[in-house]
């Protein structure tokens, strides 16, 4: 619905959450071009557009389903009131309960008393459109006005809408022709995923890729390291899903964000800690919707095969620079050659025989032993592990198939390694070490020095 408002020259877009338990309502009002009666009638028809028809280059819609499907997924009654400049106010309403009782798909002309009140409160007096959702069975069914937790839940939904608008429409909120968004009367601040206003942000050379006679614009950015950002800027730049989840390509169609960070299924690429500073903006024309598999929800996009190689090339360059910046910081934590390192396993010799024992002084081992309710059983388990290490088999396999022997955590996900490092770090802190000393000790524990980017992640988490 906001897409339609923006396409029709809206300067102020207002979202209002009206709390009244099961009788709550949500309204969206704009001061755009508005519609006459016939245009409104056409807009309320389900599936009113052919997705293959030639559209205005600035148009967001494709199927003619957005208003109806979005509304019926959340409510049973949707009312649209609109007027063009110097035109009459016209209203149409779909009420699923009325349809069920009469067995007729008939558009109503009269708004409910609540919808009429919201129109009077929010609608622009000269032109524009207001959409009101009532009977919010997916949102407020079973809620009560006197229940504070029900009201809090409703207001949390409003906050989700605010955050969604801040991300998806952030490019419309800046510039000379900006649109101002409001939630319950308060302006919504845009979320800039590329931190363009930060001096330490690195914009890389952009490219214009040609595909089927259309231009796809690609502009990579490498964001500043934590040390270059104010704490609040760093927190906000993490977005709704966190730094790791927001790395990758950002796909826009007519400035509207479709994909807020993703590596688009490029083979072997995952969202990993040391690539989290890489964000790449991609601008598509609406003529390539089919080739990019953009669906009716406008929440998914996949590059055509002919562009995938170009995206991999641009992404590889951006990821490489991002990794270098991030790992450079983490590398400072790695102990220098010759400094003592702490191992989980120890090799001992007795009577010309070699044994392998768990390091009982390892902080994680000590903490587990201290927290264990049955120390004898734990000691028995550790001893059993030590006594049954298949040393001969490991030696033979390593000699005969050296290429098949993997190193510590070689096939583990970074998230798994990071969680183990967090636990060891917590055990060091529990021993009374300062944050700085605990981090330095962590950097001496094998095999953690092999993962400087994750050591850096632990440090950043602790600093926050």
Distances 33 to 118, 149, 334 between C-alpha atoms, Å? 19, 39, 61
> In the predicted model, what is the mean pLDDT of residues 188-201?
93
What's residue 404's pLDDT? 63
pLDDT of 24 strictly over 90: yes
> In the predicted model, what is the mean pLDDT of residues 158-175?
94
Mean pLDDT of the chain: 86
3-state SS class at 145 = coil
> In the predicted model, what is the mean pLDDT of residues 362-371?
84
Least confident of 60-64, 125-129, 251-255, 275-279: 60-64
Work out the end-to-end distance of the chain between its first and last CA atoms, rounded to an integer number of angstroms. 38
What's residue 340's pLDDT? 61
Percentages (nearest 5) of helix, strand, coil residues in the chain: 40, 20, 40
What's residue 339's pLDDT? 53
Q: Which residues pair with 253 in a beta bridge?
A: 256, 284
What's residue 59's pLDDT? 46
pLDDT of 464 strictly over 80: no
Cβ neighbours for 309, distance < 8 A, ≥ 6 positions apart? none
Distance of alpha carbon 299 from alpha carbon 308, whole angstroms: 19
What's residue 61's pLDDT? 47
Statement: the pTM of the whole predicted model exceeds 0.85: no
What's residue 195's pLDDT? 95
What's residue 332's pLDDT? 52
pLDDT of 459 strictly over 80: yes
């Amino acid at each position: 619905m906001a897409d339609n408002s923006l396409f029709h020259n809206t300067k102020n877009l207002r979202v209002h959450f009206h709390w009244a338990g099961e009788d709550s309502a949500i309204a969206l009002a704009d001061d755009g071009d508005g519609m006459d009666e016939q245009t409104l009638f056409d807009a309320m028809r389900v599936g009113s557009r052919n997705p293959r028809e030639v559209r205005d280059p600035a148009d967001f819609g494709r199927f003619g389903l957005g208003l109806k499907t979005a509304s019926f997924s959340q409510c049973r009654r949707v009312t649209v009131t609109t007027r063009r400049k110097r035109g009459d106010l016209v209203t149409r309403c779909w009420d699923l309960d009325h349809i069920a009782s009469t067995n007729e798909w008939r558009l109503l002309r009269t708004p409910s008393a609540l919808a009429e009140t919201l129109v009077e409160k929010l609608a622009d007096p000269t032109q524009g459109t207001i959409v009101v959702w009532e009977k919010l069975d997916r949102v407020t069914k079973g809620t009560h006005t006197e229940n504070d937790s029900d009201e809090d839940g409703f207001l949390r939904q409003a906050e989700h809408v605010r955050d969604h608008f801040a991300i998806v429409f952030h490019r419309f909120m800046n510039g000379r022709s900006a649109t101002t968004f409001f939630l319950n009367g308060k302006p919504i601040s845009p979320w800039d995923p590329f931190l363009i206003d930060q001096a330490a942000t690195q914009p890389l050379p952009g490219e214009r890729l040609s595909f089927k006679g259309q231009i796809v614009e690609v502009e990579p950015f490498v964001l500043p390291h934590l040390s270059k950002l104010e704490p609040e800027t760093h927190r906000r730049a993490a977005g709704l899903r966190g730094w790791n989840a927001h790395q990758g390509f950002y796909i826009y169609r007519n400035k509207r964000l479709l994909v807020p960070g993703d590596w688009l299924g490029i083979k072997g690429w995952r969202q990993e800690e040391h690539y989290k500073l890489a964000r790449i903006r991609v601008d598509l024309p609406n003529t390539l919707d089919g080739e990019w598999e953009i669906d009716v929800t406008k929440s998914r996009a996949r590059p055509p095969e002919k562009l995938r190689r170009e995206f991999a090339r641009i992404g590889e360059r951006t990821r490489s620079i991002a990794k270098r910046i991030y790992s450079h910081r983490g590398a400072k934590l790695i102990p220098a050659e010759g400094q003592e390192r702490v191992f989980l396993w120890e090799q001992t010799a007795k009577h010309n025989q070699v044994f392998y024992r768990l390091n009982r002084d390892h902080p994680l081992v000590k903490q587990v032993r201290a927290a264990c309710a049955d120390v004898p059983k734990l000691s028995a388990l550790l001893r059993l592990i030590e006594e049954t290490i298949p040393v001969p088999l490991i030696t033979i396999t390593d000699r005969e198939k050296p290429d098949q022997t993997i190193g510590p955590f070689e096939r583990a996900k970074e998230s798994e390694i990071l969680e183990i490092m967090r636990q060891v770090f917590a055990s060091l802190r529990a021993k009374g070490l300062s944050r700085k000393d605990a981090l330095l000790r962590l950097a001496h524990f094998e095999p953690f020095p092999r993962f400087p980017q994750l050591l850096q992640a632990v440090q950043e988490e602790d600093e926050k």
